[in-house]
Structure 1
Amino acid sequence: MRWVRSEETTIDALQNGDDQSILDELSLGDLMVRYRDTVSPSKKSHRHERNRINLMLRHPITQLKLSDLSSGYFARYRDDRLRTTGPQSVRHELNTFSIVIRTAKIDWSIPINRVWLDDIRKPKIPAARDRRLMGDEYERLMEAAHGSQSIHMSNIIEFAIQTGMRVGEIASLEWSNISLHQRIAHLPDTKNGTSRDVPLTTMAVQVLSQQHGYDREQPFPITKHGIGAAFRKICKQAGIKNLRFHDLRHEAISRLFEHGLAIPEVALISGHKDFRMLARYTHLKAHNIVHKLG
C-alpha cells in the first residue's frame, strides 16, 4: 500500500535524524492516503470522508512534496475548486487538508513546522436557508402526497414536520425504539454521534399508529434516498418550487419556538449541541409570535 511505503521512508529518515529528507520524500498525497486508510475508518462519517479524500487526491496539489508546499498552493486550490464546487464543500475539503496535516505533525511525528491552511481565508458560508411552508403549500403538499405512488409519503411528511427528525433518522427508525405509551422515539445513532430521545406530539403518535402493519421492524419501510426521490416528485406534482425535504426540519424547529419552547428544550428535540447551529435552522414567522407581545 502507498502509505506503507511512505511509513517505511519516514522511519528510515527519522532514524537518520534527517528532517529535510522526510519532507522531500513524502507528498501531500501520501499523508492523505495514510489518513484515509488508517484513521478515517474509525470515524462515524468515514464513508463521506473517504469519498472526499479520493476526490481530493485527483488534484495536482496532492502530488507535491511536503517540502514544496506553501499557503499559496492551498489558496490556489481553494480558488480552483470554487469554480466548480460550492463554498461549503470547499470548506470541508480545506478542513480535511488541515486535519490530515495536523495528524501527521502530532500523531505521526512528521517534522512539519506549520499548518499552511491556517494562513489562508476560507470561503464564506452561504446564508442559511429560510425556506418554510408558505400559504397553502402544506395542503397542496399533502394532497399530492396522498395521490403519490408511495403509500408512506404523506405520513412521512407529517411525521417530519411534527418531530423535526432528519430524513436518515426517519428512514432508520425502528419499532423497538418507539414507545407510543410514553410518546418517545429513541434514536440510538444520530448524525452528531450521540443518541437522543424525541418526544412525540399527539399527531406524531397518530401517524405511527397508522403505520402499524406495514412492516414488523420499521414504521417507515423506505430508504432515505427513496424518501428524497419521492418528495421531489410530490413537490413537482404540487407545483411547489425550491422546497427540500430538509426544509421540513426547519419548519418543525421554527414551530417549536413559536409554540413557546425554550432553546434548551428545542435542542433536546432537534439534537443540536451548538445553539448557534440551532439558530441557523430557526426561522420564525412574525405573525405567529405577535400574541406574545404586550
Structure 2
Amino acid sequence: MASIRKRNDKWQAQVRRTGHTLRTKTFINRADAKRWVRQTELELDRSTLAYDPSSLDRTSVGDLLRRYARDVTPAKRGKASEAKRIEVFLRQRWANVTLARITPQAFSQHRDKRLREVEAGTVLRELGLLQAVFETARQEWDIPLPENPLAKVRKPKAANGRTRRLQSGELTALLSACTEGRSEYLRPGILLAIETGMRRGEILNVRRRDLDAENGLLSIPETKTDVPRTIPLSENAARILIELRAESTDNDARLFPVSANAFRLAWERCKRRVAKHLPDIEGLRFHDLRHEAVSRFFEMGLSVPEVATISGHKDPRMLFRYTHLKPEDIVAKLRKTKLRVAA
C-alpha cells in the first residue's frame, strides 16, 4: 500500500508492506515521489518473495547451524572450539526439527540433560552460541522467525569462580615430571604462566619480535579480549623468553612452535605422572596457573591497576575472581603490622 500527500509545499511518499517497516521519503515534486514509490514497491515485493514464512517448514535447525559454521564461525578467534561445538549440536535430535516446529522446550530439555553431564558454565556457553545462531538468522539472513526460541529458555546459574591454587610440592613435582616427557616446551610454558599470568593461547602465540629484552617487556598483540597489551617481565620470565628466542633468528617465529592440542596433551600426561604421588593434581587445570599468578602478584604487594596491567583484566570484579589470597599469609602480615605499631 502506498500513499503520496502534499505537506508544506513538498510531497511525502509512504510505502507499507506486511513484514517490513514503513518506508517514507519527501520530494520537491510529485513525479519524483511517484517514481520512488514504484521502485520501493518493486524492491519490497522482491524481498517479500524471499521472506517466505513457508520456508520455516523447509529449513531445519541443522541448516542454520551449518550455515553459521560456514559463514560466521571462521571469522572468530575461537573458531576451532566453536566448530567442534556445532558438530556436537548437529548430532542432537532437535537439529533435525524444522524451524516451524522448534520450540523453547527442546532447548530446555537439552539444558537439563547437559547439566547432568557438564558444569553450568559449559551449558551457558552452549546456550549462548545457539541463541547467537538464531539471532543471526533473524537479523541478517531474513529468516522469518517470529522470535528467538532461546530467549525464553532459563539460563543456569554459573558456579562460583574456581579457587584452585598450587598446593605444597605440586609445582616442583610438575616441573620434575616435565623432564620425563617428550615436550621440551611444557616446562617453560608452566613457568611463564606462573610468572606472567598469561593464558595458554597467549603463551603459545608469542613470537620472537614480541620480546623487548632490553626493557623487560613483552607485547601480546592477540588476546582473548582482542585488546593488545604489553606486560612487564620478571627476571625469571625474561630469562626463559631470551633462552627460547635464541633458538631462532626469524622474528616471525613462534617461541613455542607446538600446537595447542599437543601442548594440552603434554600437560595431561605430565599430570598423570605426578598423580601417582599427588592424586589431587588431577583437578588442576592449566588456566589455574593464571589464577595462581594473579594471586601471587597481590601477595607481592602490587596494586589492582598494576596487576590489571599485567593480566589484562578491564573489570576489577573479574580480576578479584582470580584473586584468592592465602588466609595464613594475611594473618602473618596483620601480626607483623601490629608488632611494628606496638614497637
When normalised by structure 1's length, the TM-score is: 0.84
Partner of residue 111, structure 2: 78
Aligned-pair CA distance for 1:248:
1.1
| C-alpha contact (below 8 Å) 2:114/2:123 kept by paired residues | yes
Tell me if 1:50 matches 2:83: yes
CA, structure 1 residues 154+67, in 2 after alignment: closer, same or farther (shift >3 Å)?
closer
Q: SS of 2:150's equivalent?
A: helix
Partner of residue 267, structure 1: 308
Aligned-pair CA distance for 1:56:
0.7
Partner of residue 102, structure 1: 135
Structural mapping, 1:133-152, within 5 Å: 133-146=166-179, 148-152=181-185
The structure showing larger relative contact order (alpha-carbon pairs under 8 Å, at least 6 residues apart) is: 1
Q: SS of 2:53's equivalent?
A: helix
Q: Which moved more, 1:19-28 or 1:148-157?
A: 148-157
Tell me if 1:115 matches 2:152: no
Query: How far apart, in 2, do the equivalents of 1:66 and 1:150 lie?
Result: 48
Q: Which amino acid counterpart does residue 231 of structure 1 have in structure 2?
A: W
| C-alpha contact (below 8 Å) 2:51/2:142 kept by paired residues | no
Query: How far apart, in 2, do the equivalents of 1:38 and 1:149 lie?
Result: 38
Structural mapping, 1:1-294, within 5 Å: 14-16=47-49, 19-146=52-179, 148-216=181-249, 217-238=253-274, 239-240=277-278, 241=281, 242-290=283-331, 291=333
Aligned-pair CA distance for 1:14:
5.0
| C-alpha contact (below 8 Å) 1:175/1:218 kept by paired residues | yes
Q: Percent identity?
A: 37
Aligned-pair CA distance for 1:49:
1.9
Q: SS of 1:69's equivalent?
A: coil
Query: How far apart, in 1, do the equivalents of 2:237 and 2:137 lie?
Result: 48
Aligned-pair CA distance for 1:186:
0.9
Q: Which amino acid counterpart does residue 168 of structure 2 have in structure 1?
A: G
Q: Which amino acid counterpart does residue 212 of structure 2 have in structure 1?
A: S
Q: Which moved more, 1:35-44 or 1:137-146?
A: 137-146
Partner of residue 7, structure 1: none
* 1:189-228 deviation per Cα after TM superposition (whole angstroms, max 9, x unaligned): 1222232212101221122334353344344444433333
Aligned-pair CA distance for 1:265:
2.5
Query: How far apart, in 2, do the equivalents of 1:220 and 1:33 lie?
Result: 33
| C-alpha contact (below 8 Å) 1:250/1:281 kept by paired residues | yes
Unpaired segments ≥5 residues, structure 1 = 1-10
Query: How far apart, in 1, do the equivalents of 2:102 and 2:182 lie?
Result: 54
When normalised by structure 2's length, the TM-score is: 0.73
Q: Which amino acid counterpart does residue 113 of structure 1 have in structure 2?
A: P
| C-alpha contact (below 8 Å) 1:13/1:21 kept by paired residues | no
* 1:99-141 deviation per Cα after TM superposition (whole angstroms, max 9, x unaligned): 1111122222222222221212123323322111122333333
Structure number having the greater helix percentage: 1
Structure number having the greater strand percentage: 2
Aligned-pair CA distance for 1:249:
0.9
| C-alpha contact (below 8 Å) 2:120/2:157 kept by paired residues | yes
CA, structure 1 residues 110+265, in 2 after alignment: closer, same or farther (shift >3 Å)?
same
CA, structure 1 residues 100+225, in 2 after alignment: closer, same or farther (shift >3 Å)?
closer
Q: Which moved more, 1:94-103 or 1:81-90?
A: 81-90
Query: How far apart, in 2, do the equivalents of 1:153 and 1:44 lie?
Result: 23
Larger radius of gyration: 2
Query: How far apart, in 2, do the equivalents of 1:18 and 1:153 lie?
Result: 54
Q: Aligned-residue CA RMSD in angstroms?
A: 2.7
* 1:241-278 deviation per Cα after TM superposition (whole angstroms, max 9, x unaligned): 22222221111011112222233332221122343333
Query: How far apart, in 2, do the equivalents of 1:12 and 1:58 lie?
Result: 38
